[in-house]
Structure 1
Amino acid sequence: MKIIVQLFRIIVGALFIFSGFVKLVDPIGSQYKFQEYFSESVLNMEFLIPYALIFSIVLIVAEILLGVMVIIGYKPKFTVWSLFFLTLIFLFLTWYSAYYDKVTDCGCFGDAVKLSTWETFYKNVILIALIIVLMIKVDVIKPIFRGKIPKLITLISLGFFMFIVQHVLTHLPIIDFRAYAIGKNIPEGMEYKDDGEIPPVHDFMLEDEQADLAPELLKKEKVMLVIIYNLDKVDERGFPAVREATLKAREKGYTVYGVSASFTDDLILAKEKYNLPLEFLFCDETTLKTMIRANPGIMILDKGTVTQKKNWVDIDELEF
């Protein structure tokens, strides 16, 4: 039985570390998922939407840190019970999503691994069964290091995870699992495969008042898109850098457009207020949030292939 407990301990810990890590490198993705859960059409808890990012960070760090703690055997009773209650939350959310068909992707593995809602629910059922075994046999779980080393590892891990969170929120995700990652070709991502699945890029349109310019722009070699998914939530400190980058790009022969889901009248006022030399195209807000975790942010395309992506704080690092 001891061998089985140790095996379950490794499986549970590794799963929580992996699940936490793929979300740790992109906590804003989890923020968007919490906002979806808190929305009126799902849990009807809209008063929590402003705190979605805090929820995502706390849950992600707790998830990955508990995975580390169960493997090294630090505070086993506290760790195992915490894992149990955390998995209960996941179990409820995935059951709710699957049964009521509310959130088609719970985001349990971020954008790295896509599972259906029922697949995720059954995964959590198995996971909680493993954790219950660990709860029953918690006395078998011993620290793999002596003295204060497990505590030290836990504290160092916590500090490291918080550093990663701060870094990716300031810049961009360390690892990009989405269809708009650097090196990805957008037209290829729009192609339907023989498996009948919806392609990863299926809502990419760049519309002016007359037509969708996406097909034309995806054929050009030098295209810079200034993405402002929502003017009400934009970081206005980024506008001077955006303006400078726009002028530099045009000097180098780039076709430059702003892309937003905000109203045209609001965009016209923003252009005048911040002296932005941009013509704006419309794109769905969810698509823009998927394209880049920045507001404002810049994406460079070469014949539809993403070559550069920068948050506004790193615009001076763009290579034209």
Structure 2
Amino acid sequence: MKAIVSISRILVGVLFIFSGFIKLNDPVGFSYKLQEYFSEPVLDIPFLIPFALIIAILLVIFELVVGIMLLIGYAPKFTSWSLLVMIIFFTFLTFYSAYFNKVTDCGCFGDAIPLTPWESFYKDIVLLLLILIIFFNQKYINPIFPLKYHKWVVFVSFMACFAFCYHVLMHLPVFDFRPYKIGNNIPEKMKIPEGAEQAEVVYSWKFKVKGEEKIIKNNGAYPQVDGEFIGVETTQTGENAIAPIHDFVIEGEEGDITNEVLTADKVLLIVTYNLRATEKDGYKAVKSLSEEAMKKGYKVIGLTASGPEFQSELKKEFDLNFDFYQTDETALKTIVRSNPGFLTLNNGTITQKKHWFDASDIEL
């Protein structure tokens, strides 16, 4: 049993640290996932949505530090109870999402390892079993350092987590797992990957021919059969292949300009998914950078999901000399974790991506 507990302890501790670190690398992205959970169609607790970022930060830091506490053997009773409560909550959440098909990706490992709701649920079931082993055998959790050092390890871990979190909030995630990372070509990512499994719908047509049931399978055309039609059933083989980037469309008064933007050799995109919630402290940098880019021959456009009224108000307030265009809000949130944020493109390839705080680092 001692060996089983040790193995469980290592597996659970490492997984909690890994999961916590991946989400801590992108707390804004995890807060978007929490907002999805808090929304009316899912858990119906929308009053928590304004606090999603704070909750996200506290939750992932606690998750990571509890994993460290388990590995070093600090406060085994508190650690075991914390793990048990968290995994019961996570298991309920993933089962609810999977069974009712509410959230298509739990966000357990951020964008690094996307999991389906059922995959997340099965993962949590395994974790629950391992944590139950730990919970009922706490006497086998022995410290790996002298006890006087444990508090310092935990304290340093907390401080390091907060420092890392502050860094990614004031800049951008250190590790970018999204399809819009620097070096990716957007048009290429808008194509379905080679070898991706294509979904095929099979129609099973049932007829009664000379007193016997006959089934004919095809891709949808009504069969020419000399008999009585009974009914038809459909089944799907394979999965619907979706391109990594499938919702990137830029529209303005003149229509869709996506191709025009993705074929230009010098483009500066100013991304602000929501003009009502945008950080207005960043618009001094927006104005300065946009004017410099225009002087150097860049095509400068703003991307937002907000309507013309908010666009006009913001342009007037900060005397901006570029136009805003409409793009899907989810796509804009995925592109850059800053509101506003900057991207430079060269024939559709992302060459630079910066938080507004680092606008001066963009090379034109």
Q: Which TM-score tier does this pair reach, normalised by the shorter chain? A: over 0.9
Deviation digits for residues 144-184 of structure 1 (CA, Å, limit 9, x no counterpart)? 01131122111101100011111111111111111111111
For residues 338 and 28 of structure 2, the distance between their equivalents in structure 1, rounded to whole angstroms, comes to 9
Counterpart position of 1:145: 145
Q: Which moved more, 1:194-203 or 1:283-292?
A: 194-203
Amino acid at match of 2:259: P
Q: Which amino acid aligns with 1:289?
A: K
Q: CA deviation at 1:22?
A: 0.6
Partner of 2:80: 80
Paired position in structure 1 for 2:269: 225
The answer to whether 1:45 aligns with 2:45 is: yes
Written as runs of structure 1 = structure 2, the 5 A alignment for 1:155-194 is 155-193=155-193, 194=196
d(CA) in 2 for partners of 1:30 and 1:311?
Answer: 17
| Structure with more helix by fraction | 1
- Partner SS state of residue 233, structure 1: coil
- Point out where structure 2 has 5 or more consecutive residues left out of the alignment: 199-240
Do residues 21 (structure 1) and 21 (structure 2) align?
Answer: yes
Separation (CA, whole Å) in 2 of partners of 1:212 and 1:16: 44
Task: For residue 195 of structure 1, report the CA deviation from its aligned partner.
Answer: 2.2
Cα distance in 1 for residues equivalent to 2:315 and 2:19: 41
Could you tell me which of 218, 235, 248 is aligned with 2:279?
235
Give 2:117's aligned amino acid: T
Q: Report the identity percentage.
A: 48
Secondary structure of the residue that 1:307 maps to in structure 2? strand
Separation (CA, whole Å) in 1 of partners of 2:4 and 2:343 = 49
The equivalent of 2:359 in structure 1 is 315
Paired with 2:150 and 2:264, the residues of 1 have a C-alpha distance of 55
Kindly state the Cα deviation for residue 238 of structure 1 after the two structures are TM-superposed.
1.0
Whole-Å separation in 2 of the counterparts to 1:221 and 1:141: 59
CA offsets, 1:96-142, max 9 Å, x none?
Answer: 10011011111011110011100100100010100000011111011
Equivalent residue number for residue 133 of structure 1 = 133
Equivalent pair of 2:192/2:244 in contact (CA under 8 Å) = no
Runs of 4+ aligned structure 1 residues displaced above 4 Å come to none
Q: Which residue of 2 aligns with 1:65?
A: 65
Q: Which amino acid aligns with 2:330?
A: T
Q: What is the Cα-based RMSD across aligned positions, in Å?
A: 1.0
For residues 40 and 104 of structure 2, the distance between their equivalents in structure 1, rounded to whole angstroms, comes to 16
Selected match of 1:254 from 293, 298, 306: 298
1:244 matched to 2:288? The reply is yes
- CA distance, structure 2, for counterparts of residue 195 and residue 180 of structure 1: 23
What SS does the aligned partner of 2:107 have? coil
Structure 2 Cα separation of the partners of residues 265 and 46 of structure 1: 26
Q: Distance in 1 between matches of 2:145 and 2:347?
A: 54
Preserved contact between residue 272 and residue 341 of structure 2 (Cα < 8 Å): yes
Q: Is the 8 A contact 2:276 2:310 kept in 1?
A: no
SS of equivalent residue, structure 1 residue 257: strand
Q: Secondary structure at the match of 2:256?
A: coil
List alignment gaps of at least 5 residues for structure 1: none
Q: Would you tell me which structure has more strand in proportion to its own residues? A: 2
How far apart, in 1, do the equivalents of 2:345 and 2:172 lie? 17
Say if 2:339 is the partner of 1:295: yes
- The 5 A counterparts of 1:257-272 are 257-272=301-316
Point out the more displaced range, 184-193 or 290-299: 184-193
1:304 aligns with 2:351: no
- TM-fit CA distance, 1:87: 0.8
3-state DSSP of counterpart to 1:232: coil
Q: How many pairs are equivalent?
A: 320
Secondary structure of the residue aligned to 1:176 is: coil
Aligned counterparts of 2:172 and 2:330: Cα–Cα separation in 1: 17
Instruction: For residue 44 of structure 2, give the secondary structure of its aligned residue in structure 1.
Output: coil
The match for 2:321 among 268, 277, 280 is 277
Distance 2:252 2:262 in 1: 15
Using the TM superposition, give the Cα deviation of residue 185 of structure 1 relative to its aligned residue in structure 2, in angstroms: 1.5
- Name the residue aligned to 1:198: 242
Three-state SS of the structure 2 residue aligned to 1:281 is strand
Q: C-alpha displacement at 1:211, in angstroms?
A: 2.0
